[in-house]
Amino acid sequence: MEIPYTVEARPDTGVYNAKLGVWLFLASEVMLFGGLFSAYVLLRVGTPPELWPHGWLNVKLGTLNTVLLASSAITTLLAWAALKVKKFNHYRIYHGLTLLLAVAFLVIKSTEYNDKFHHYEIVQTDGKIADGHLVEKSADFDLVKKTGEVTLHHVRVVEKTEELADLRHAKPPGEGEVKIAAANIKKMQNYGPYHNNYLGIYFTLTILHALHILGGAIVIAFLWGPGSKMWKTEPERFTNRVEVSGLFWHFVDLVWIFLFPVLYLT
Partner 1 sequence: MTESTEDFKNHTRRTLFIFASVLCGTFLMVGASFAPLRNPHMNLVLVLVAACCNAFIVAGFLMHLFSERKMIYTMLGFTAFFTVMLFALTWIAEHDVPQVLVR
Partner 2 sequence: MVTKMQSTTHATPHFQADHGHGAHHHDEGFWRTYVFSIDHKVIGIQYGITALAFLLFGFSLMLMMRWQIAHPGISIPLAGPLLEKLLGSVAAKGVMSPDLYNSFGAMHGTIMVFLAVVPLLSGMYGNYLVPLQIGANDMAFPRLNMMSYQFYFIGGIVMFASFFIPGGAAQAGWTSYPPLSEVIPTDGQTYWLIGMVFLITSSLLGSANIIATIVQLRAPGLTWMRLPFFVWSQFVASFLLLLAFPPLEAAGVMQLMDKVTGSSMFLPTGLSVGGKIANVAGGGNPLLWQHLFWFLAHPEVYVLILPALGIVAEVIANNTRKPLWGYKSLVYGSLGLGFMSFIVWAHHMYLTGMGTTIATFFQTTTMIISIPSVIILTCLLMSLWGGSIRFNTPMLFALAFLPMFGIGGLTGLPLGFSASDLHLHDTYYVIAHFHYVVAPGTIFAIFAGIYFWFPKASGRMMNEFWGRVHFWLSFIFMNLIFMPMFAQGLAGMSRRMSDGGVNYSASYFQANGIVAAGGLSNNIMYLNNTILWAAVGLGLAQIPFIINFFYSIFKGPRVTSDNPWQATTLEWQTPTPPGHGNFLTPPSVYRGPYEYSVPGHPVDFIAQDQPDKAKA
What does 266 bind: partner 1, partner 2, none (CB cut-off 5 to 8 Å by kind)? Answer: partner 1
Of 4, 14, 127, 172, the one binding partner 1 by CB under 8 A? 14
**Cα distance between residue 72 and residue 94, in whole Å:** 9
For partner 1, how many residues bind (rule: CB under 8 A)? 46
Distances (CA, A) of 243 to 20, 102, 104, 143, 254: 12, 17, 23, 52, 16
What does 71 bind: partner 2, partner 1, none (CB cut-off 5 to 8 Å by kind)? Answer: partner 1
Q: Is 55 left (phi over 0), alpha (psi -120 to 50) or beta?
A: left
**Cα distance between residue 259 and residue 205, in whole Å:** 8
Site membership for partner 1, residue 30 (CB under 8 A): yes
Q: Could you tell me which stretch among 11-19, 102-110, 143-151, 154-162 binds partner 1 (CB under 8 A)?
A: 11-19
Q: How far is the CB of 247 from partner 1 (least distance, A)?
A: 6
User: For residue 185, how many other CB atoms are within 10 A of its CB?
Assistant: 19
What does 175 bind: partner 1, partner 2, none (CB cut-off 5 to 8 Å by kind)? Answer: none
Identify the CA nearest to 155 among candidates 137, 173, 179.
Answer: 173
What does 94 bind: partner 2, partner 1, none (CB cut-off 5 to 8 Å by kind)? Answer: none
**Cα distance between residue 210 and residue 110, in whole Å:** 10
What does 148 bind: partner 2, partner 1, none (CB cut-off 5 to 8 Å by kind)? Answer: none
Q: Could you tell me which stretch among 65-73, 141-149, 184-192, 210-218 binds partner 1 (CB under 8 A)?
A: 65-73
Q: Within positions 102 to 131, which residues make up the interface with partner 1, using CB under 8 A? A: none
Site membership for partner 1, residue 15 (CB under 8 A): yes
Q: Is 230 exposed, middle or buried (0-12, 13-18, 19+ CB in 10 A)?
A: middle
The amino acid at residue 244 is V
Q: How far is the CB of 234 from partner 1 (least distance, A)?
A: 13
The amino acid at residue 211 is L
Closest to partner 2 by CB, 47 vs 58, is 47
Of 1, 4, 11, 45, the one binding partner 1 by CB under 8 A? 45
Identify the CA nearest to 132 among candidates 95, 178, 166.
Answer: 178
Longest CA pairwise span in the chain (Å): 77
List of residues contacting partner 1 (CB under 8 A): 13-15, 20, 23-24, 27, 30-31, 34-35, 37-38, 41-42, 45-46, 59, 63, 66-67, 70-71, 73-74, 77-78, 81, 84-86, 168, 236, 239, 247, 250-251, 253-254, 257-258, 260-262, 265-266
